[in-house]
Structure formats: C-alpha cells, structure tokens
Structure 1
Amino acid sequence: MRIEQQPAFILHARPYRETSLLLEAFTRDHGRVGLVARGVRRERSRMPRGVLQPLQPLLLGWIARGELGTLTGAEAASTPFALSGEALLAAIYINELVLRLSGRNDIHADAFAAYALCLARLADNADMAWTLRRFERDLLADLGYALALTHTVGGTPIEADVDYAYDPDAGAREWRVGSIQPRVAGGALLALDLDESPTADQLAQLRRLVRAVVRHLVGGELNAWALSARPSGSAPA
C-alpha cells in the first residue's frame, strides 16, 4: 500500500545499516509507524536528511510492507517548533511517552492532534506543567487508558475537598493513613477533567499520579524522567 502526503512527526531516528535511517513516526491517519529511510545518510541523497528531525511538522510518503515501511517522500509541512531548555526536555518526554505507550499502526487521530497542540503550547511558553498534564490526559484517553477523574472505584462522585489514593490499575479511593498509592486532592482530579488550571500543589500531585500510571503501563521508568532529574534538567515531566 502506498501512502502519500501524510501529516506526521518523527519521534525517533537511528542509523540503519551503512547509509539509511530507521524512523519511528507518529502520523495522523496511521498512528505510529516504523519506516526505513534508505540512502539518506549518503552525501548526495535525493531526500534531504535534515528534514527528518523531531519537532518538525512533516508530510511523509511511504510504501507499507509488513512491520517496516519504506519512506518514499518527506517535506516540511511548516516551520519546526523552536524549543530549547526545559521546553525541549518536555518535548523529549512526550516523544518517549508516545513511543512507549502506543502500538504500531494503531490509529489515534485525537492523540496526534493533542501531540501537535502540546508542541505548539510549549513553543508559545505556556505553563509547562499544565501543558504536559493536559497532553498526558488526552493521550491516555485516546489510547484507552483514560484517567478516572470524576468517580471513585466504588462509583461515588469525586469531591473537591476530599483526598484520594489513586490506584493506577483501578482509580481513586478515599485516602487512608498508610495508603501507598499517590495521594491527590479531589479538586486536582476535577480540575484536570474540566480543563481548569489547578494550583501548583495540585499540579505536583497530578504529576506524581501520572508517573505512577505510566510506570504501571510500561513496567518501569522512562529515560526522560532521569534526564529531567539531572541538575541541568528540571522539566516537569
């Protein structure tokens, strides 16, 4: 099957054989796809290697054959998102999140739109922690792992002035002394559900909650978490 002019972003690229690249691309209509960009590491490649960079909105073409497709075309759809410092670390984090949580060839058009919006907000210097929490919420929902933000495990409505223990495998339970799950205020859960900016303390609680959920889903840690924990990296991922 031949695909043409597909909106996409490169999530990851690595050398493949002597002259090629192996790409993981996030596309609007085909989800995450693996592509071989043959010969692009040659000096006189017909396809400019420089366009195959993360954070660059692209239009890609490829021939789909089995697990890996063959890239046939790539062009910039618009200017790259100019990100540096903490915003760049945040972009590295969301790339890894998509890579680790999504399956190849599973279509997630809403997640693709949320990804592009997240990059645009980071480039516009929007509140970084809130931008990431909104993206995580939307990505998890579209992938089938929606956060339980309005009702407890038992089905009772979340109350803003009550604290909860959030079980990554089940949802929220009223907090009890000795609970080992992340503690989060009901107001934080409701704010995320309503898309209303939480307080700084609530954002920190939601960060811990999402980390626990992601850790549960991928079975371990993300590389981006270690990167942001270094003295020079403080992105709220």
Structure 2
Amino acid sequence: MRLEQQPVYVLHLRAYRETSLLLECLSRDRGRLGVVARGVRGARARVSRAQLEPFQALRCDLLLRGELATLLAAEGDGPVRRLAGTAGLAGLYLNELTVRFTRRQDPHPALFAAYARTLGRLAAGEAPDWTLRRFERDLLQATGYALRLDSTAEGAPLEPEGWYVYQVERGPVRCPPEHAYALRGVDLAALAADREPAPAARLPLRAMMREVIRHHLGGEPRTWQWLARLPRR
C-alpha cells in the first residue's frame, strides 16, 4: 500500500545497516509505524538525515508492506521546531508514552491531534507540568483508558469542595482532605474541562496520573526520572 503526503511525526530513530535509519513514527491515518529510511546517512540521500529528527511535522510518502514501511519521500510540514531543555525532556516523555500505549498500524487520529497540540504548547513555552497532564488525559482517552472525572465511583456527582482520591479501576472515591493524594472535586472537573487547576492541585494531579499510567503499563516509564528535573510552576 502506498501512502502519499501522510502527516507524520518521528518518535524515535536508530541506525540501520550502513547508511539507513529505522524510525518509529506516529502517522495520522495509520497509527504508529515502523519505517525504514534507506540511504539517508549517505552522501547522495534524497531525504536528509536532519529532516527526520523527532518533533518535526512531516509529510511523507510511504510504501507499506507487512509490518514495516519504506520511506519514499519526506518534506517539512511547517516551521522547524526545536525543543530544548525542559521542553525537550517533556517531548521525550510524550514519545515514550505514545510508543508504549499504542500498537503498530492501529490508527488513533485523536491521539495524533493531541500530540501535535502538545508539541506546539511546549514549543511556545507553556508550563510543562500542566501541558503534560493535558496530554496524559487525552492519550488515555484516545487509547481506551479514559479517566472518570464527572462522577464518583458510585455514580454520584462530584461535589466541588469535596475531597477525593482516584482509584484506577473505580474512579474518584471520597477521602479525608489530609490524604496524601487528595483532590477536590473542582480540581478533577477542571482537568475534565481543560481548565488549568489551582496551583495546590498540581502535585496531587501528577501523582494521580502516575498511578494510572503505572497501572496500565505495568511499570514506570523510563523518562520519569528525567521529568524530575522539570520546574514546578
């Protein structure tokens, strides 16, 4: 199958044979793809190695055969984006989550859109902690693990000033305010509505998301140790 002008982001790359690269990509219409980019490290490459860096929006022509695709052509799809420092670390986290929560050739157009939005927010200098919470929420929604943020585990409406702890298999459950991971109903509602919560909710929301992600992955993403360097704003 030939895919022409397919919107793509490179998630990961490594050397393959003498002059080629093996890419892990997120495509809009075909989901995650393994892509062989032949000859891109050679002197006569039709596609330059620099074009295939992570975080760049690309339009690619691909030949899909079996599990792997072959890169036929690639061109930039917008301005060159460089993520450095904390934004770069956050971008690596996006890439790891995207790889680990998806299967190859399983389309997730909503995840592709969320990934693109999040890269734009990081490039614009938005606070990385809230930006990552938004992406985690959207990734869970797109891959079938949506958070329950509109009612308690028993189905009752959340009380704005009530205190809750999030149980992965159930949802929000009432708890005392001194609980280490306690969140107010208004904070959970803010996450659902894409409204930035109060600063005091940032760490509990981070802890909640980590518990959910750890549960679904059966372990911790490797990039969590890097994310400890991100500023808390």
Q: Is 2:8 aligned against 1:12? A: no
* Cα separation, 2, equivalents of 1:85 and 1:176: 38
* Shift of residue 210, structure 1, vs aligned partner: 0.8
Query: Are 1:112 and 2:108 matched, yes or no?
Result: no
Paired with 2:82 and 2:41, the residues of 1 have a C-alpha distance of: 24
Letter paired with 2:142:
D
Q: Which residue of 1 aligns with 2:214?
A: 215
Alignment check: 8 A CA contact 1:90 1:235 kept: no
Match of 1:228 in 2: 227
1:113 aligned counterpart, secondary structure: helix
Which digits, 9 at most, give the CA deviation of each residue in 1:32-68, with x for residues without a partner? 1111111212232222111001011100111111111
Cα pair 2:91 2:119 within 8 Å, conserved: yes
Where does residue 91 of structure 1 map in the other structure? 91
User: 2 CA distance for matches of 1:177 and 1:128?
Assistant: 26
**Structure 2: distance between partners of 1:203 and 1:179:** 15
**TM superposition shift of 1:19:** 2.0
The answer as to 2:75 corresponding to 1:75 is: yes
Would you say how many aligned residue pairs link Structure 1 and Structure 2?
232
Whole-Å separation in 2 of the counterparts to 1:82 and 1:41: 21
State the Cα RMSD in Å: 1.8
Q: CA deviation at 1:179?
A: 7.6
| Cα displacement (A) at 1:234 | 2.1
Distance 2:45 2:74 in 1: 12
Unaligned runs of 5+ in 2: none
- Residues 42-51 or 116-125, more deviating: 42-51
Q: 1:18 deviation in Å?
A: 2.3
* Residue-by-residue CA offset, 1:152-210 (whole Å, 9 max, x unaligned): 11111111211212112221111269989x43222211111122110112122111111
What is the DSSP-based 3-state SS (H/G/I as helix, E as strand, rest coil) of the residue aligned with 2:186? Answer: helix
> Does 2:50 align with 1:50?
yes
Residue 160 of structure 2: SS of its match in structure 1? coil
Which residue number corresponds to residue 186 of structure 2? 187
For 1:46 and 1:27, the matched residues in 2 are separated by: 21
8 Å Cα contact 2:128-2:230 kept in structure 1: no
Partner of 2:162: 162
Do 1:188 and 1:203's aligned partners in 2 also have CA atoms closer than 8 Å? Answer: no
The one-letter amino acid paired with 2:15 is: P
Paired position in structure 2 for 1:24:
24
